[in-house]
Structure 1
Amino acid sequence: MDQTSAPLQPRKPGFREDVQGLRAVAVLTVIAAHAGVAFFPGGYVGVDVFFVISGFLITQLLVTEASRSGRVSLSGFYARRARRILPAASVVLVATVAASVLWMSVLEAIDLAKDALWSAVFAANVRFAQQGVDYFSAEAAPSPLQHYWSLAVEEQFYLVWPLLVGAVVWVVARRRTTEGRSSRVLRALVVTIAVIGSASFVWSLVRTGAEPQSAYFSTFTRAWELAVGAGVALAVHAGRTLRHRRGAEVLVWGGLAAILAACLAFDETLAFPGYAAALPVLGTAAVLYAGAHADVTTSAGRLLSVRPMRVVGDWSYSLYLWHWPLLIVPPTALGRDLRPLEVVLLVALAFELAYLTHRFVEQPFRTRRISARPRRALILYPVFLGLVGSTAGAGWAWSDYRVSEHGDTPAITTSQFGITDDGPEALVQASVLAAQSRQATPSDLTPDLVDLEDDLADVGDCLYEGGTAWELCPQGDDNGDKTLVVIGDSHARAWIPAFDQIAARSGYRAFYLVKAQCSAALVDPSEAFTGDPWPECEEFHRWSEEQIGELDPELVVMTSSAPITGLYSEGRRLRSMDDIAGELGVGLADMFRAYAPLTERLVMLVDVPRLSLEPGVCLSTFGSDLGDCALPPDATGARMRDLTVDVATDAGIEVIDPETWFCADGLCPTVVGSTIAYRDRGHITSTRAAELAEPLGTALGIW
């Protein structure tokens, strides 16, 4: 056989016990971080360890097959992946959907059913990336299926990478040269990996800096990690391994130290993946490479190969699938954080379920003849989709039925409590009395519970997200001869339905200079998701001041929440409430001085009281009544409201406090009449805002 047609002679890949031990390291670090082990905050890098291992093993498998047969069997590859991935994934998905229907609120169960459908088509990372950049979802509890994002990234890799390897092998086979096919295939694959990996790494740096929330879940920002593993596989396949024990020892221990350092030094505030991911990724690559030579066994390799580590490595896939829903569903159902002993018991349960799933689900599908043939195994994909889809659909339909308006419980009225006043305060008072008497929630709620998260005020083309190319969007009375400007953050946006009515009825052109998370006070809030400095807010403050100066409005109304997630002062991030309160007071005073000369009249609309619970979750929890969903205002929010009133009063600024339109006798009912007053803990619904147009217009002296 001549050189050009001779098959590639690879090193025998074989089964590596140290790789199973490395899988154990990966899953144990992830569980430690998710379980709240204080000294292991960066354990989430275990996912990156998994990515490198996957890139290494899959590439090794594909290149070995191409070397032996001169081709890549796509059906065989996808059949093996189906047997390996789908059975356990479907069991955990179905179990988690069932648990959500039994123990979580209706809205949470509906959201989880949606998550399950995205997970079933291996696009969970896309869904969670979209949610990651949604400011209004920032306070929502994580999904019990959020960990499926990493499975989606791997499956997308499994879909594309075999096609690329097969294409390279096919192209090389068609070219006739004097150079051996083996070297041409390897060189072509190295170039392919280098291009993909380099592009992905650069993109990871760019996106992690710009949008770390979505970058975390992105396949494009993670592809380079899989490419690193693939590169190690090609080096090993070419026989370029370490042949001296001393060098291997240094490399393997250095790799493990890098992974450990990331686990200890990183935390959830770090923008990730970006450049930081290089530490655990290269560390994993070092461990894989150091243990690649058949005749060189390192002390670390022996440690990773001990039976307990191998067993945990065998269970690692099922363990990863089970641990997260077990740590998320119970506290959501209980409405409180887990106690340390409860966490330990749930982690122990995850190990037990992982053992059972590995033995009775994973192993049978990987070894039985019925699924050994590619065509039979590929049937698992439609079966998987049908099983998960039908379960998620049934859970969604049942949850939707439970929350739908099919009862006959009437709305709360003032007359049922003998209250003769017909003002907005009176209906709030009646709603508090209804809650105190433990009345059932009205059947005909507005907005509907399933639509609650979408009950946002429309700002048209003036969302003011990103960049600085902002424009004005006039609303209200197009022919009005007076101008009204509302400035603030997302809490100001919530009032737009009321201001729209006021402006249209009173002959005002209205301009809403509102930007989510950017307080009206002249302070520098930290970026909501990362805690980093956020110069865009300062730019928006300057732009807003310029626009107000040019508009010369008759009335400017300011309202916003306090930046309780932190703000910056002289380059230092302030986190404590005392520090934030002090800086906020200065920022409010600066704001009043800046805007007062630019308008005939300046009014401070105090922020609404903040709730201590999620209204949608409370109202959609099975068995809850109005009393369960009416609580005292949040203490931190009350402190910041008092601060706003004090600073405005000292500055001689008009103050309108809407508290009595939402709370009475120390309680804030989630439902007022039949209207859901809040869409989350701090934002009022657009529906409630529209109902308050008249009292707000009256308080402003316009109506």
Structure 2
Amino acid sequence: MTSPSAPRKPGFRDDIQGMRAIAVITVIAAHAGLPFLPGGYVGVDVFFVISGFLITQLLVTEAARTGRLSLPTFYARRARRILPAASVVLVLTVIASLIWMSVLEAIDLAKDALWSAVFAANIRFAHQGVDYFANEAAPSPVQHYWSLAVEEQFYLVWPLLVGLCFWWAAERHGRRAGALHALLVLVAAIATASLVWSMLRTDTAPQSAYFSTLTRAWELAVGAGVAIVVHSGRTLRGRVTNEVVAWGGLAAIAGACVAFDAGLAFPGYAALLPVLGTAAVLYSGARQNSRTTWAARMLSLAPMRAVGDWSYSLYLWHWPLLVIPVAALGRDLRTVEVLLMVALTFELGYFTHRFVETPFRTKRAWSRPRRTLVLYPVFLALVGSTAGAGWAWSDYRVSEHGDNPAISTAQFGIAEQGAEDLVRASVLAAQADLPVPSDLTPDLLDLLDDLPDVGDCLYEGGADWELCPRGDDDGTKTLVVVGDSHARAWVPAFDVIAERAGYRAFYLVKAQCTAAFVSPSEVFTGEPWPECDDFHDWTREQIEALDPDLLVVSSAAPITGLTDGDGRRLRSLDDISAALRVGLADMLETYQPLADRLVMLSDVPRLAVDPAVCLSTFGVGLADCTLAPDVTGTQMRELATGVATQVGVEEIDPAAWLCADGLCPTVVGSTIAYRDRGHISATRAAELAEPLGEALGIWSPEEPSEP
């Protein structure tokens, strides 16, 4: 099946369409999980270089021919190219989310779509990427719009700079010959600055660097530089030379696709391989006789040209088609299902190219800039109204309606004597398939923000850490809590305990940095994370200085990976377990003599589902969101218990306050017990101050609750 395309313009390069085909195929293959192309995401970098080349070629040709640039014409051309297909996919993706995704996921998608509509999706996703507590969230079905945002942000500025260079050359020299030289110097400066920033930022904040226009601008600038050099007439001579350069470039791209993986810090210096490879292919094909080379012939084959023609629509469709079914099914797609989604991607890509892209790009009615520029407000209105309506409808669906009562022990004839009894009642309510209580605490919309307050002591970044006293300012005893974000989750309970029992409390807790003396890999990249080792050293020094009456350690297993002494990443569960067993014992044996009393508060059972997603899925009951604990999490809890017993350290297991009869309800009474799969909510933690205080022996059950 082929699509009718507009006649090729003079100088049109079919080999570039072939490069577009390679770029989109590698991206789809990587996202579909093809095992031998884990680095296929570099296809986006190939797109950036091609885009920088073609757009700059267009701008320079116009400026050199007419002495000026028509910005309305340029942005009208971009509107015809980008907006129609982007709006169709965005609108249909928002509608699909309302049908097949949970309510909270649909609300998040509506927000993502609004950011995408103003070409700022990369800013939103960069901001979300720095949130450790959001790292388990499923990717947005429109996350791939970040690359469109990067391009459009670059092209807000680039035409102005090109026009300025030509104006400066004409004013200073009375001719436009010097403009290309000035433009090349400008491109070199932009590329150098952006590349240096990309390397620095990728090393210090890789999760946000990936989406940043500032760390990606050099890739577009490389394409722009090739276009300027080609326009000036400096091309390679000789078929053999062109052939070697072209195949070398293709080999570089292929090498990146095969050798890179999701754990690589990117873009940084690693992006040089696919970027320079793409530049080599573009440069080698610049001569008129370039199609005589075998590389150009291969890239210009009819199937490659067709896929290149459809590449934009294919790119837009592939990601939501791979993400939304996973959310709808609540599991990863099977191989056959992935193949069906890829096939549907090509079907929708073809139809979108033929019936949406092509008419807007070729019909005479859209050739006038003034008329075409209207597409921008129309696009905003269409996507904005759809996303706004979806957001409002989803917000209504998740808001409190009805009169379903909270779960109580009396419903099941249980005499409530402790926190365990309400948990048992909540499991029985789920087994009876009762509806979710109407009045949940915290509200579902606020669940992700239900984080414990640790004041100024988040302990992010490097070594300028300070102590933040909490609890009773006049307390004569000292409580220290050590661990990662799972220890932080208990802060609301420890605040109550410290205030009532007269303790000065110090929370030495750092997200992702497990209490065990091991070196976790950086959660977003898998790279070594020496900052955690530094925090261990600092924590040990503070404990020695504070001489605590009670020291509580609590943390989760670093299942994202560990780094051994040689800087090698440990990924398998067996390797992590072996290292963790040693690290836990080392930590407990080191801390035991530093405090009057050392207690290990075991990690909470890990859920197999995300509570927010489950509870906000239309039509679910308590039974749907009450499941057995995650198997891997259970193994890690048993490992920690074994180590504590071996070392002779007292242990408190909170499992009975959250689970009963092998099941963990996401709703206990009317409280949402977990804020995500592994962290209890701050609200539930505060409710557990009483049983935790009793388990610690700080007060007796008969002691009044109020100080």
TM-score by shorter chain over 0.5: yes
Q: Which one of the candidate residues 573, 594, 600 is aligned to 1:577?
A: 573
Residues 83-94 of structure 1 mapped to structure 2, 5 A cutoff: 83-94=80-91
CA-CA distance at 1:141 after TM superposition:
1.2
Unaligned runs of 5+ in 2: 1-8, 700-707
Note the alpha carbon deviations across 1:29-54, whole angstroms, 9 max, x for none.
11111111111111111100000000
CA-CA distance at 1:176 after TM superposition:
3.8
CA-CA distance at 1:478 after TM superposition:
1.7
- Quote the Cα distance in structure 2 between the aligned partners of 1:361 and 1:296: 32
Contact 1:414 1:422 (8 Å CA) reproduced: no
Amino acid aligned to 1:466: G
- Quote the Cα distance in structure 2 between the aligned partners of 1:438 and 1:695: 28
CA-CA distance at 1:568 after TM superposition:
2.5
Q: Which one of the candidate residues 628, 632, 639 is aligned to 1:632?
A: 628
Note the alpha carbon deviations across 1:113-152, whole angstroms, 9 max, x for none.
1110110111111111112121111111111111111111
Residues 587-602 of structure 1 mapped to structure 2, 5 A cutoff: 587-602=583-598
Q: Which one of the candidate residues 406, 424, 427 is aligned to 1:432?
A: 427
- Quote the Cα distance in structure 2 between the aligned partners of 1:503 and 1:511: 10
**Secondary structure at the residue paired with 1:422?**
coil
Note the alpha carbon deviations across 1:450-474, whole angstroms, 9 max, x for none.
1111111111111111111101111
**Secondary structure at the residue paired with 2:569?**
strand
- Quote the Cα distance in structure 2 between the aligned partners of 1:13 and 1:702: 84
Contact 1:456 1:686 (8 Å CA) reproduced: yes
Contact 2:484 2:555 (8 Å CA) reproduced: yes
Q: Which one of the candidate residues 459, 462, 474 is aligned to 1:467?
A: 462
Amino acid aligned to 1:556: L
CA-CA distance at 1:593 after TM superposition:
1.6
Q: Which one of the candidate residues 380, 391, 409 is aligned to 1:414?
A: 409
1:283 aligns with 2:277: yes
Residues 165-564 of structure 1 mapped to structure 2, 5 A cutoff: 165-176=162-173, 180-182=175-177, 184-297=178-291, 298-564=293-559
Contact 1:555 1:600 (8 Å CA) reproduced: yes
- Quote the Cα distance in structure 2 between the aligned partners of 1:530 and 1:394: 37
Amino acid aligned to 2:684: R
Amino acid aligned to 2:433: R
**Secondary structure at the residue paired with 2:355?**
helix
Paired positions, count: 689
Contact 1:610 1:633 (8 Å CA) reproduced: yes
- Quote the Cα distance in structure 2 between the aligned partners of 1:352 and 1:645: 54
Note the alpha carbon deviations across 1:499-531, whole angstroms, 9 max, x for none.
111111111111100000111111111111111
Amino acid aligned to 2:251: A
CA-CA distance at 1:700 after TM superposition:
1.0
- Quote the Cα distance in structure 2 between the aligned partners of 1:398 and 1:296: 56
**Secondary structure at the residue paired with 2:407?**
coil
**Secondary structure at the residue paired with 2:289?**
coil
Q: Which one of the candidate residues 99, 105, 108 is aligned to 2:105?
A: 108
1:96 aligns with 2:93: yes
Q: Which one of the candidate residues 12, 21, 37 is aligned to 1:15?
A: 12
1:666 aligns with 2:662: yes
- Quote the Cα distance in structure 1 between the aligned partners of 2:578 and 2:25: 43
**Secondary structure at the residue paired with 1:411?**
coil
Note the alpha carbon deviations across 1:182-203, whole angstroms, 9 max, x for none.
2x10111011101000000111
1:163 aligns with 2:160: yes
- Quote the Cα distance in structure 2 between the aligned partners of 1:25 and 1:589: 51
**Secondary structure at the residue paired with 1:607?**
coil
- Quote the Cα distance in structure 2 between the aligned partners of 1:337 and 1:636: 18
Partner of 1:3: none
Contact 2:64 2:176 (8 Å CA) reproduced: no
- Quote the Cα distance in structure 2 between the aligned partners of 1:148 and 1:173: 38
CA-CA distance at 1:278 after TM superposition:
0.8
- Quote the Cα distance in structure 2 between the aligned partners of 1:502 and 1:525: 31
**Secondary structure at the residue paired with 1:459?**
coil
Partner of 2:605: 609
CA-CA distance at 1:13 after TM superposition:
7.3
Contact 1:319 1:354 (8 Å CA) reproduced: yes
- Quote the Cα distance in structure 2 between the aligned partners of 1:228 and 1:378: 29
Amino acid aligned to 2:237: R
CA-CA distance at 1:335 after TM superposition:
0.9
Contact 1:609 1:633 (8 Å CA) reproduced: yes
Amino acid aligned to 1:144: P
1:127 aligns with 2:89: no
- Quote the Cα distance in structure 1 between the aligned partners of 2:40 and 2:588: 46
Note the alpha carbon deviations across 1:220-259, whole angstroms, 9 max, x for none.
1111110110000001100001231111111111111111
Amino acid aligned to 1:643: L
Contact 2:519 2:533 (8 Å CA) reproduced: yes
Deviates more, 1:579-588 or 1:567-576: 567-576
Identity of aligned residues (%): 74
Amino acid aligned to 2:644: A
- Quote the Cα distance in structure 1 between the aligned partners of 2:276 and 2:571: 34
Partner of 1:82: 79
Amino acid aligned to 1:245: R
1:702 aligns with 2:694: no
- Quote the Cα distance in structure 2 between the aligned partners of 1:577 and 1:367: 56
Residues 50-65 of structure 1 mapped to structure 2, 5 A cutoff: 50-65=47-62
Partner of 1:9: none
- Quote the Cα distance in structure 2 between the aligned partners of 1:566 and 1:28: 30
- Quote the Cα distance in structure 2 between the aligned partners of 1:181 and 1:87: 36
Amino acid aligned to 1:259: I
Amino acid aligned to 1:686: A
- Quote the Cα distance in structure 2 between the aligned partners of 1:531 and 1:21: 34
Contact 1:244 1:296 (8 Å CA) reproduced: no
CA-CA distance at 1:589 after TM superposition:
1.4
**Secondary structure at the residue paired with 2:508?**
strand
Partner of 2:684: 688
- Quote the Cα distance in structure 2 between the aligned partners of 1:344 and 1:606: 43
Partner of 1:7: none
- Quote the Cα distance in structure 2 between the aligned partners of 1:650 and 1:243: 74
**Secondary structure at the residue paired with 1:66?**
helix
Contact 1:13 1:60 (8 Å CA) reproduced: no
**Secondary structure at the residue paired with 1:147?**
helix
* Cα root mean square deviation, aligned: 1.2
**Secondary structure at the residue paired with 1:171?**
helix
- Quote the Cα distance in structure 1 between the aligned partners of 2:475 and 2:277: 66
Unaligned runs of 5+ in 1: 1-11
1:676 aligns with 2:672: yes
TM-score, scaled relative to structure 2: 0.96
CA-CA distance at 1:650 after TM superposition:
2.3
- Quote the Cα distance in structure 1 between the aligned partners of 2:621 and 2:398: 13
Contact 2:184 2:228 (8 Å CA) reproduced: yes
Amino acid aligned to 1:527: E
- Quote the Cα distance in structure 2 between the aligned partners of 1:271 and 1:119: 25
- Quote the Cα distance in structure 2 between the aligned partners of 1:574 and 1:130: 28
Contact 1:243 1:296 (8 Å CA) reproduced: no
Contact 2:603 2:653 (8 Å CA) reproduced: yes
Amino acid aligned to 1:60: Q
Partner of 2:32: 35
**Secondary structure at the residue paired with 1:524?**
coil
Note the alpha carbon deviations across 1:562-596, whole angstroms, 9 max, x for none.
11122123323322222222221211111112112
Amino acid aligned to 1:546: E
